[in-house]
Amino acid sequence: MAGRKKIKIPSLRDIQKKFPSQYIAGEVDESKSLWLPSRFLAFNKVLGGGIPFGKILELFGEESSGKTLMAYDFAYCCQYLGGVVLWVDAEQVFTNSWAEVNGLDLNRTIVYRDTSIERISDWVGMQSLYWRSQLTHNEPILLVVDSVSALDTDANIDSEMTNASADMGNRAKAIYKYFRIRNEMLYSLGITQIYINQLRKNLKAGMFENPDTTPGGQALRFYASLRIGMYGGKQITKKIKGKERKIGRVTSIRTIKNKVAPPGPTLKGSPLYNNPKYVDDIGFDRLHFLDEILIEEEVVEKSKAGTFTYKGENICRGADNFIKLLEDNDDLRRKLIKKANINTLGRTKKLIDSIESNLYPIDNINSEDYEEEETEE
């Protein structure tokens, strides 16, 4: 048709230049994807390998159900892999002595005490940029916020008058804004994130609705790739010098949301040891459920009589004896864990050491956009 302007077809180079975050899925080698594991092997399997670098895990649950101890375990693993831990202590309960008991290196743990969502957002942005500029060999950086329920807005903190409904709305909006501003940057920098949250009763829940809810609005539920609920059970006691001593608690770990792997089973009855006076290693029993996973993955077989078989040979009888065998035999344990494709600290360290390129260059962050977001009202 006369006079009609010819359409200009963009080149692939032009498209890539305008949309630098696009990629061809088939060109991505997911075997080089980095995950931050815990030392609790069954939990790694449930998550799909741990927490992918740059992704968000929400840990919520009842009081004393092991949320903070689980975060400490991930923090230990982060530092073992050469990384640093950024810890927002909104509840103001972080202590150096308890952190050291949990294995943390205090010189690689940066703690910030505040409840202001706006100031925390600024701190997280600045610390993330600084540490990623220093750690250029794909070492992990872990951000822990303890806890979301303790966060508030500057307006609410400074206000002399209180309005519960308005305060909750302001807090939810500020948390949404925090994730809207920070999520893309933290993902680009490979900042692994754990947000600890509490369980509250939803007084408006209907007869057939879940009466439990988490504070902070819907933003964290939406942005989190992983949501894990932790529910405390009976106390674990041990008779010491004729007296029953509390040494831990049985906890159930339930996958509520998993967008990075198929949802795993609930880990019912996970032993959690939290009294360093009477136990050598505090935290979750690292080999618990390992026998069940190895059977499910068809790495070993178990007869009706309870005999465990590996490659057609009987190796022991009884689940307790099998776990004890794995504790004592490092070579066998590593071999079986590898066959079951369970991510471990050693496996992650080898992968990080094998990657020559920097997967998280700070050049990916647009400084003008960052500054604009910092001053956004």
pLDDT digits (tens, 9 = 90+) for 221-263: 999 999 999 999 999 999 998 999 999 999 999 999 999 999 8
Domain boundary among 265, 286, 307: 286
What is the reported pLDDT for 376?
A: 46
Domain assignment present for 2: no
Residue 41: which domain range? 31-286
Q: How far apart are the first and last CA of the chain?
A: 50
159 in the same domain as 104: yes
144 in the same domain as 55: yes
161 in the same domain as 59: yes
302 in the same domain as 211: no
What is the reported pLDDT for 274?
A: 94
327 in the same domain as 219: no
Q: What distances in angstroms separate CA 30 from CA 34, 47, 135, 351, one per listed residue?
A: 9, 16, 22, 12
Say how far apart CA 129 and CA 317 lie, in whole Å: 53
- Alpha carbon dihedral 200, 202, 203, 208, in 10-degree steps, equals -140
254 in the same domain as 193: yes
295 in the same domain as 277: no
What is the reported pLDDT for 377?
A: 41
Hey, what are 329's tokens? 């035999």
255 in the same domain as 186: yes
Domain assignment present for 377: no
* CA dihedral for 161, 165, 169, 171, sign (positive or negative): positive
Measuring CA to CA, which residue among 188, 155, 187 is closest to residue 173? 155
What is the reported pLDDT for 29?
A: 77
Domain assignment present for 143: yes
What is the reported pLDDT for 374?
A: 46
pTM: 0.93
Low-confidence ranges of the chain (pLDDT < 50): 369, 372-377
Domain assignment present for 370: no
Q: What distances in angstroms separate CA 131 from CA 81, 128, 183, one per listed residue?
A: 15, 5, 17
324 in the same domain as 185: no
Q: In terms of DSSP H, where are the helices of 102-153?
A: 117-134
Convert the pLDDT of each residue in 258-310 to its tens digit. 999 998 899 999 999 999 999 989 999 999 999 999 999 999 999 999 999 99
* Whole-number CA gyration radius for the chain: 24
What is the reported pLDDT for 206?
A: 64
277 in the same domain as 147: yes
159 in the same domain as 101: yes
Hey, what are 121's tokens? 């957002």
Domain boundary among 241, 266, 286: 286
Say how far apart CA 85 and CA 77 lie, in whole Å: 10
181 in the same domain as 276: yes
- The total number of structural domains in the chain stands at 2
Say how far apart CA 99 and CA 104 lie, in whole Å: 5
